[in-house]
Structure 1
Amino acid sequence: MVYILYGEDNFSIHEAIQDIKRGLGDPDLLAVNTTWLEGKQLSAGELSAVCQTMPFLAPKRLIIVEGLAGRFEAAVRGRRGRRPAPPQPQGWQAFAECIQSVPDHAVLVLVDDKLEATNPLLRALSPWAEVREYRPLRGERLVRWIEGRVAQAGGRMAPPAVRKLAELVGPNLWALSAEIEKLLLYADGRRVELADVSQVSSYAREADVFSLVDALLGRDMATAGRELHHLLASGATPPYLLFMIARQLRLLILARELVDSGGSRDKIGQRLDLTNPFILDKTIDQARRFSLERLTQVYGRLLEADIAIKTGHLPGETALELFLAELSPGGEPG
């Protein structure tokens, strides 16, 4: 049996592998009959030798190969601006022949990131292998996934809470799974409500920091003060808030520079390392609404508050309050 599991949703790929393992009998025996291989340097002969090896005291041998089909992409994408590795268009035929002759005792799983439909190894194996593509979940599909995950864990979550969680976290299923587990533990048997997401989720706190920065930049000091007091009351410490505000301002300064230079949405997302489309769009929108001068001005005042705290000149909360006061219309120098 041959599986090809590929796509950007590596959480679902991981879960699919666990499902395959559960169908192969005793987990202890399977553990000694499982082989993981790195596909980028693998030869067809090496793969054939592993597949032909008989299992030990078990009916099946599991072989998982990562990154094999990606070697034969017509164009390989680079990551984070690094130069992409050159594709290897030749040699896929030997792997196709090897994989098509996998014996019955071998279960071969090929795992890859996003592949083009024109990938020669994918096309050669698709007619008779079980091929599954895992794309990032968005919109209603993501909402349904959260609902299913909550039900699977024996919990309940109000629809507004589900949608808020989907909006805050986006298609990162690893992070969503952790947030769901945390929320269900916090609810302790009752239904998770919208207020619980705001109270417990670290992503909700990041959203509050985003709102605080937005109010600061827009000189809406009343809203900024409310957001600051809410964050402090929820347990956020002054050093944490300084770090998060500074991080957001640095992202906005870089985004503004990229917007001014004509950078595309995808390029900005790569440079800022923002994979959540909701957060990326909000960051770009916020950067467009404020000048680079305003962004650097607020960032400079924040650094002054940070120095005041670290040198012991001011307590943390006092320094943050003074930071807000100095940015108010009456507190700024003429």
Structure 2
Amino acid sequence: MSYKAAAREIHQGQVKPVYVCYGTEKYLMDEFVTYTIHQLIEPDYMDFALSKFDMAETRLEEVIDDAETPPFLAPRKVVIAKDATFLTAAKDNGKLEHRIERLLEYMDKPVEGAVIVFTVAAEKLDERKKIVKQLKERAALIPFQALSAEELAQWVERKAEQLHSVITRVTAEQLIRNAGTSLQTLSAELEKMSLYVGKEGTITGDIVENMVVRSTEQNVFLMIEELAQLRTEKAMRIFYDLLKMREEPIKLIALIARQFRIMLQVKEMTQQGYSQQQTAQQLSLHPYGVKVAAEQGRKFEMKRLASILSELAELDYRMKSGKIDKVLGLELFLLRMAG
């Protein structure tokens, strides 16, 4: 079940006794857990009807025991149990032994008014396990995977709307290119810019450019984008800004090589018939990064990408062995790229 469908059901009063939230998109998972808590517990009862456990430090049977204990004065009870790695294929660290049969028994006879929400930061659960199969049959599994490129841009637009601001699709994509794909970071940047433009104000490209602080990785990403578009002056300006920030040329070489390697891998997998979503999963990359790598990669032939990676490897060796000045070597490489 999607988290949106689960949220709709909870809002309509169709509440399941157990939910398992899993995936790599922690921001959305935390939002869903918070939404569930506030939908099911009145503010006055929050201290009496909400329990939180860390499964790395608490046995499963203690969580079940708590769920079976009636809430004090409150009509409903919510039990949050994080780090439920016993549902994954990860090796048990041996610190705690969870009696899985207690959860199976509870699922057959859940306590009315009690809701248990397990969370685990894992891309997938171990569907070979009986408990996971049972949870899946009950539609209790809620995945929180990285948003696709389209979903990410839509999320930015909706978040701006929630903050009573306006942002166009073009500007939303500019924000993602500058700030990265972390929803936590994007949310913080949107809040900052929304305060700046005021209620119903428009967040423009210039505002994004002036207010969003780019990481080294995002600067390298944009520098390559400018080179791919043959905008040499802008690319070199970003490079010199990185030097002013005391970024080590060897680190920059590694980041540049990583992006070109991704371009080559994405290009190869696209030719093999993989979708961008499948490519992202295979390469363990965010779907948005795959989308942009595909767009950048169209500017280069496969042979050229392989040649660039070979040049970067040679330059890295010459820099580390002192055969060329680090800054000069990288500067000459970028100028050759632009030419």
Which TM-score band (shorter chain)? 0.5 to 0.7
Quote the Cα distance in structure 2 between the aligned partners of 1:255 and 1:167.
Answer: 14
- The one-character-per-residue Cα deviations of 1:74-101 (angstroms, maximum 9, x if unpaired) are xx2xxxxxxx52599x953332112433
Question: Where in structure 2 are the equivalents of 1:36-115 lying within 5 Å?
Answer: 36-40=52-56, 42-68=58-84, 70-73=85-88, 76=89, 85=91, 92-112=100-120, 113=122, 114-115=124-125
Map residues 1-334 of structure 1 onto 2, 5 A cutoff. 1-27=17-43, 29-40=45-56, 42-68=58-84, 70-73=85-88, 76=89, 85=91, 92-112=100-120, 113=122, 114-128=124-138, 130-167=140-177, 171-189=181-199, 190-203=201-214, 206-212=217-223, 225-229=233-237, 238-240=243-245, 242-243=247-248, 246-252=250-256, 275=286, 278=289, 282=293, 288-295=306-313, 297=315, 324=331
Relative to structure 2, which stretch is displaced further, 187-196 or 204-213? 204-213
Asked if the contact 1:5/1:133 (under 8 Å) is kept, the reply is yes
Kindly provide the amino acid, as one letter, of the partner of residue 94 in structure 1: R
CA distance in 2, matches of 1:102, 1:96: 10
**1:256 and 1:25, CA in 2 relative to 1: closer, same or farther beyond 3 A?**
closer
- Displacement of 1:49 after TM fit? 1.8
Q: Aligned partners of 2:59, 2:329: CA distance in 1, in Å? A: 64
The CA deviation string for residues 222-266 of structure 1, in whole angstroms up to 9 with x for no partner, is 95554344677xxx57442524x5433123457889999xxx987
Task: Quote the offset at 1:162 in angstroms.
Answer: 1.7
Deviations 1:113-156 (A, max 9, x none): 33255543232134446443222211322222221111111110
Would the alpha carbon gap of residues 145 and 212 (structure 1) be closer, same or farther in structure 2, given more than 3 Å must change? closer
SS in structure 1 at match of 2:203: coil
CA distance in 2, matches of 1:33, 1:303: 64
| CA root-mean-square deviation | 4.6
Contact (CA 8 Å) 1:158, 1:194: kept in 2 or not? no
Bigger Cα displacement from structure 2, 152-161 vs 194-203: 194-203
Q: Which amino acid aligns with 1:16?
A: F
Letter in 1 for 2:255: L
Contact (CA 8 Å) 1:138, 1:170: kept in 2 or not? no
Residue 220 of structure 2 aligns with an amino acid whose one-letter code is V
Q: TM-score, normalised by structure 2?
A: 0.65
Verify the 8 A CA contact 1:52 1:103 in the aligned structure 2: yes
Relative to structure 1, the CA distance from residue 323 to residue 38 in structure 2 (aligned partners, 3 Å threshold; closer, same or farther) is closer
Structure 1 residues 30 and 64: CA distance shift in structure 2, 3 A: same
Distance 2:329 2:258 in 1: 26
State the SS of the aligned residue for 1:242: coil
SS in 1 for 2:81: strand
Q: Kindly tell me: are residues 251 and 28 of structure 1, through their superposed partners in 2, closer, same or farther at Cα, counting changes over 3 Å?
A: farther
Residue 51 of structure 1: how far off its partner (Å): 1.4
User: Which residue type is aligned with residue 139 of structure 1?
Assistant: A
Secondary structure class of the residue paired with 2:19: strand
| Alignment-derived partner of residue 11 in structure 2 | none
Task: Give the secondary-structure state (helix, strand or coil) at the position aligned to 2:37.
Answer: helix
The TM-score with structure 1 as length reference comes to 0.66
Distance in 2 separating the partners of 1:168 and 1:117: 38
Q: Which moved more, 1:44-53 or 1:251-260?
A: 251-260
The residue identity in structure 2 corresponding to 1:248 is L
| Structure 2 CA distance for partners of 1:268 and 1:291, relative to 1, 3 Å | farther
8 Å CA contact retained: 2:223, 2:239: no
Partner AA of 1:227 in structure 2? A
Q: Distance in 2 between matches of 1:256 and 1:49?
A: 53
Aligned counterparts of 2:30 and 2:129: Cα–Cα separation in 1: 22
The one-letter amino acid paired with 1:240 is M
Q: 1:325 to 1:194 in 2, by over 3 A?
A: same
Give the secondary-structure state (helix, strand or coil) at the position aligned to 2:245. Answer: helix
Unaligned runs of 5+ in 2: 1-16, 270-278
Q: Which residue of 2 aligns with 1:315?
A: none
Alpha-carbon distance between aligned partners in 2 of 1:140 and 1:257, rounded to the nearest angstrom: 23
Matching residue's letter, 1:194: G
Q: 1:127 to 1:257 in 2, by over 3 A?
A: closer
